Structure 1
């Protein structure tokens, strides 16, 4: 069955069949002021041709409306109303035009993402999984620290399922020994858990160790998405806020964007990530966007993802190159600490930095109280350095 199509004139109103025939016989300069839309494909919204009218920008039409007023009337709301589109409140996000290609119109940014992705894959350790019951997560982390001296530069906590915010586990993770300095923490929660997340980051295990730097948001495209929060929600929260997943990115240690470009690349991604319509319905507890944000921001090669509790058969936990994923439901259990440390040295650019305080199990003692701490990094190319966003250089004032 063919989709219903309606034609709109330049004022945003639906024209009848007689008007449509009349418009087809008009000159090319007039045809540009009418647009046809399909009621089955609303993603692109009103096209740019809707503003291609034959009048000048300073002139007015016979109704007394200027060109600017006409363009403002051809908006998405008008388009949906006149197409009789039955768009649910929870699914309007899928009609954002560049949801599948957020780099549309930004070729340099698109190229930067491709280059960083290829570098990450080239230098990533193989994907590791640690299938472990929830109650054994904390003892296992202590075992890694005490026996193998393992540290991580990037730690992510939680998946986009609602039973991941387990306070007893989060309060007892030994971050002071597990996370290197500088290090980065990404922790996810729903809007309903945001106050609990605030209290969590203010307790002794986090306070004075991590400082909150950025808040990231992930939006599922509709209620059928596997990442959409469950039905047990507070009805007093606005619908759009109910859909949101929040992530607080926290930093421990000192990192400066102007001088520590070997550690971090800022502003490569936006703070808002939207689920792609091409992946809707695919089962995975963690969308790729969550990992990409962390990988693009931090150039560190030691990454740990802790998913505290079961996610269920409908949302399996898949492995990802460059990450150790710790979960009761991770698909493969293949982590070997010794093999992992050997791979780190072979795959990473190892940058040594002298430190005069703190004895790390991952450090080599030098003369006196000076220690040389190793940073395992993804090496960056000159092309990446040229393309990436940078902080403006402030000229020094001559005294």
Structure 2
């Protein structure tokens, strides 16, 4: 909180000068310049973003229960980076396996996202309609933008949203550093995610495919996220937006034992360092048949979920 003073105020010819008033304003950018304290560390509702909003809190609770109820068991596929493309091609051609939600990347700078994206058969791996989430640091988002603006990519994937994850400070395991940007005045410490859509999905008519407005576009690191290579918030954004149950996460990087790649219920996690290697395509397809390809319609969640204004 920065304290400033207003100038003296003269009101009326018979009034004396009044004393200066103290005005308090938030200026955390200026505070950062003078103290080095990151602005995001001063956000008061990081741990519970819906505190004081009982309706939204109820929505978050019910949505989490629903996602957990209609989810596959945690599955991992341990494979080296150079074997990822052949493995995925095998799933597509031999097992006729596709996914409705595919997430690529985690919060580490040593990822080979661009080469992987140019080789992956994503048009056959991602269902139509389907959703693609690609995470990268600010330093690498420019090359991803060039790829997504390519005419071939633009025909297959429509870039819909940009999501942001911000580490709490420089001591965070998710702090990307300043590789290649040592001379910049402002540190680019946030992580970006391009969310792309295949096929046609409309908010007003496709409520069985997407749940808009359940989550925010900005996530800040909390104490619960510091438990591995991938914060839970990255998964929650995808789970809360898409109602699909076939989800794949590809991590094209070595993360090491200090930041392990943990399994998550409802996801197939492909990584060279994933803790458990228990994925079988045929067993997975059987489990999907038993739980369904999408979480079912729930009247209570629909009533709680914020809706876009109806156009007259």
Q: Structures share a fold, TM > 0.5? A: yes
Map of 1:22 onto structure 2: none
CA contact (8 A) 1:119 1:380 kept: no
2: CA distance, partners of 1:228 / 1:160: 8
Tell me how large the CA RMSD over aligned residues is: 2.5
Give 3-state SS (helix, strand or coil) of 1:164's partner. Answer: coil
Map of 1:104 onto structure 2: 51
Pairing partner for 2:75 from 128, 131, 134: 128
2: CA distance, partners of 1:255 / 1:287: 27
1:140 aligns to 2:87 (yes or no): yes
2: CA distance, partners of 1:211 / 1:221: 31
Map of 1:197 onto structure 2: 144
Map of 1:270 onto structure 2: 216
1: CA distance, partners of 2:134 / 2:119: 15
Pairing partner for 1:279 from 220, 224, 243: 224
Q: CA deviation at 1:146?
A: 1.0
Q: 1:341 to 1:205 in 2, by over 3 A?
A: farther
2: CA distance, partners of 1:210 / 1:145: 19
Q: CA deviation at 1:205?
A: 5.8
Map of 1:92 onto structure 2: 39
1:185-334 superposed matches below 5 A = 185-203=132-150, 206-240=153-187, 242-276=188-222, 278-279=223-224, 282-334=226-278
CA contact (8 A) 1:175 1:205 kept: no
2: CA distance, partners of 1:306 / 1:151: 14
Residue segments in structure 1 that go unaligned for 5+ positions in a row: 1-7, 14-60, 349-375
Q: How far does the alpha carbon of each residue in 1:336-370 deviate from its partner, in whole angstroms, 9 at most, with x for none?
A: 1111111111112xxxxxxxxxxxxxxxxxxxxxx
- Larger CA Rg, structure 1 vs 2: 1
1: CA distance, partners of 2:220 / 2:280: 35
Give the TM-score, by structure 1 length.
0.70
Pairing partner for 2:121 from 174, 184, 194: 174
CA contact (8 A) 2:177 2:189 kept: no
Q: How many residues align?
A: 299
Question: Stretches of 4+ moved more than 4 A in 1?
Answer: 74-77
Map of 2:12 onto structure 1: none
Q: CA deviation at 1:377?
A: 0.3
2: CA distance, partners of 1:273 / 1:112: 18
Q: 1:75 to 1:193 in 2, by over 3 A?
A: closer
Pairing partner for 2:290 from 342, 346, 354: 346
Q: How far does the alpha carbon of each residue in 1:75-102 deviate from its partner, in whole angstroms, 9 at most, with x for none?
A: 466xx79xxxx9534x332221111111
Pairing partner for 2:280 from 336, 340, 348: 336
1: CA distance, partners of 2:151 / 2:92: 20
Q: CA deviation at 1:279?
A: 3.2
Map of 2:311 onto structure 1: 394
Q: CA deviation at 1:167?
A: 2.4
2: CA distance, partners of 1:299 / 1:238: 41
Q: Return the structure number with greater relative CO, CA threshold 8 A, min gap 6.
A: 2
CA contact (8 A) 1:151 1:177 kept: yes
CA contact (8 A) 1:305 1:326 kept: yes
Give 3-state SS (helix, strand or coil) of 1:176's partner. Answer: helix
1: CA distance, partners of 2:308 / 2:3: 43
